[in-house]
Structure 1
Amino acid sequence: MTAPRPPFTAPDIPIRSGSGPLDVVKLGLQDYELMWHQQADIAAARAKDEVTDQLLMLEHPSVYTAGKRTQPEDRPTNGLPVIDVDRGGRITWHGEGQLVCYPIIKLREPVDVVDYVRRIEEALIQVVRQLGVTSAGRIDGRSGVWVPASDGRPDRKIAALGIRLTRGVSMHGLALNCNNTLEYYEHIIPCGIDDAGVTTLSLELGREVTVDECIEPLAAALTDALEGRLIVADHTFGSAPDPCKGLGKRKV
C-alpha cells in the first residue's frame, strides 16, 4: 500500500534495532498452533534481548487462519475448521508447497510498521522476479505481491502478508505460494478479496518451483531489505479497494 508519509528510517539504514546476526532457522513442516505459540515465546525473548533476530522458514499442514479483520462471509464453505489468530488482515490458507516465513525482528525506534511491511514486500518482489515472474509488483490499497491480469486471468496474489507487533518485535509474516494446491482458496474469500485471484510460482512459470528452492533467495532478500541494502522501489501497477478499511477488529 502507498506509504502515507516518508519512512521514519532512511531507506539505506537498517530497520532492525540490533546489529547482531539474523539467524535463518529451517523448521520443515510444523503444526500451525504450536508454531504460533513458539513465535510468541521467541518474540518475548527477543524483546528482552535474550535471543537474536530470526527468520523462521517452514511449511504448515493444510489450515485456514483468520486475522482480526475476518468477516463471517469470508469463512470456509467446506466445513473445515478455522484458527482465529492475532495477526492483521482477514482469512487465508496455509499448506504444503507454500513457503511461510516468520521474521521475529526487534525493530528500530520509532517503530514504523508501514516501512517494515514495504521492506518485506520489496524482498518478496525481488525473489519472485528473479525466479522469472518479472511482472510481479504491488497493487495500491492491498498488501502482498501480485501478478497483473493477463491471458484472461485477473490480477492474482502470489505472496501474502499478515503481521503483528508486540513490544516492538514482529510476529507472523509472509507466505509465498510455490507449488501448493489452490483448491482450498476456492472455499473462502482469500484475504477478503473477491475480485482477484490467487496463483503460485509453479503455475506462473510452467515448471515445478519447490519450497526448498525459495528458502535461500528469500532469506537473502529479506536480510538485504531489513538492513537497507535493498531499497524499496515503486513497483505499483494498479490500485484497488483496501479489503480491511473500515472494518473493526475481532478480539482474539
Structure 2
Amino acid sequence: MNKKVHLQDLGFKDYKETWDYQETLFKEIVDLKIKNRREEANLETPNHFLFVEHPHVYTLGKSGDMGNLLVDEQKLQEKGATFYKINRGGDITYHGPGQIVGYPILDLDNFFTDIHKYLRLLEEMVILTLAEYGVKGVRSEGETGVWLDVGTPFARKICAMGVRASRWVTMHGFALNVNADLGYFDLMIPCGIKDKAVTSLNVELGKAVIDIEEVKQKLQYHFATLFQAELIKEKTEA
C-alpha cells in the first residue's frame, strides 16, 4: 500500500480550473486501478493533496437544493461570485479568499476502505488544528463538518466538508474558514441547514488576520499523523 501523498499548494486559483485538475488526477488513479484489475497488474496508485484558495464561488452538490442559493445570477455577478453544480455529496457551499480549501485525492485502498472513517479523520484533522489555537471544534450528529458550541443557541460551523468517492478514490474535500468574509454566507443557506451560523478562525480569536500558511502547516501535520501518510511537497502547479 502506497502511503506517500503528493502535496501541492495551488495558491489562488479559479474553482473550475481546480475542479478540472482534480478530475484529471482522479481519472489517472481510477484508470490505474482498472488496469490493475483487468490485466492483473500490480501498478502503484498515487495519492494527492491539493491546497487552494478560490475566488468567491458557490457550489451545489448533486443532492443539493437550488433553493438554498438565496440570490439570482445578477446578484452573484454584483458580488463578484460564480456558481457551479458539482459531483460531490452535500448541499450548497461557499468558497472564497481567506478560506483554506483542501482536496485529498486518495486511493483509499492504500489506507482503509471506509468512507465514514475517511470523513471522521478529516474532521479530526481540523479539530486537532483548531485545538492548537485554543478553539474547541466538535462534530454535530448527522451533519458533516466541524462546528463550535453544538447543542447551544450559539452553534456555528467553521469547516464544511463534501466528498466524492468512486472505486475507493476520493475527490473534493474540506473548506476551513480562517480569514473568511462571512458576509458571503448570507447569500445562501449553508449546507442546506437553517438557523445555524457560520464563523471563521480570526473571528473566534478576535484577530484581524490569522497566518494562513501556519494553519496549513498544522493541517498537514495532523493529516500525515492520522492517515499514517508521508507527505511529499511538490513545486509544480496545475
Is the structural similarity TM-score above 0.5? yes
Displaced runs of 4+ in structure 1, greater than 4 A?
A: none
Matches within 5 A, 1:64-213: 64-77=58-71, 79-80=75-76, 81-108=82-109, 111-133=113-135, 135-148=136-149, 154-207=154-207, 208-213=209-214
Give the deviation of 1:201 after TM superposition: 0.3
How far apart in 1 are the matches of 2:4 and 2:115?
Answer: 22
Give the letter aligned to residue 101 of structure 1.
G
Give the deviation of 1:136 after TM superposition: 1.3
* Same amino acid, percent of matched pairs: 36
Query: Which residue in 2 is equivalent to 1:52?
Result: 46
Across the aligned residues of Structure 1 and Structure 2, the Cα RMSD in angstroms comes to 2.0
Give the deviation of 1:155 after TM superposition: 0.3
The total of aligned residue pairs comes to 209
Deviating more after overlay: 48-57 vs 213-222: 48-57
SS, match of residue 70 in structure 2: coil
Structure-2 change in CA distance of 1:166 and 1:225 (3 Å): same
Question: For the Cα contact (< 8 Å) 1:55–1:101, is it kept in 2?
Answer: yes
How far apart in 1 are the matches of 2:14 and 2:44?
Answer: 25
How far apart in 2 are the matches of 1:20 and 1:124?
Answer: 20
1:216 matched to 2:217? The reply is: yes
Deviating more after overlay: 55-64 vs 41-50: 41-50
Give the letter aligned to residue 117 of structure 2.
D
Q: Deviations over 1:69-91 (max 9, x none)?
A: 21132013253242000000000
Please report the TM-score for the alignment, with normalisation by the length of structure 2: 0.82
Query: Which residue in 2 is equivalent to 1:35?
Result: 18
How far apart in 2 are the matches of 1:103 and 1:149?
Answer: 27
Give the letter aligned to residue 119 of structure 1.
L
Please report the TM-score for the alignment, with normalisation by the length of structure 1: 0.78
What 5-or-longer segments of structure 2 have no aligned partner?
Answer: 33-42, 77-81, 230-238
What 5-or-longer segments of structure 1 have no aligned partner?
Answer: 1-17, 229-252
Question: For the Cα contact (< 8 Å) 2:104–2:172, is it kept in 1?
Answer: yes
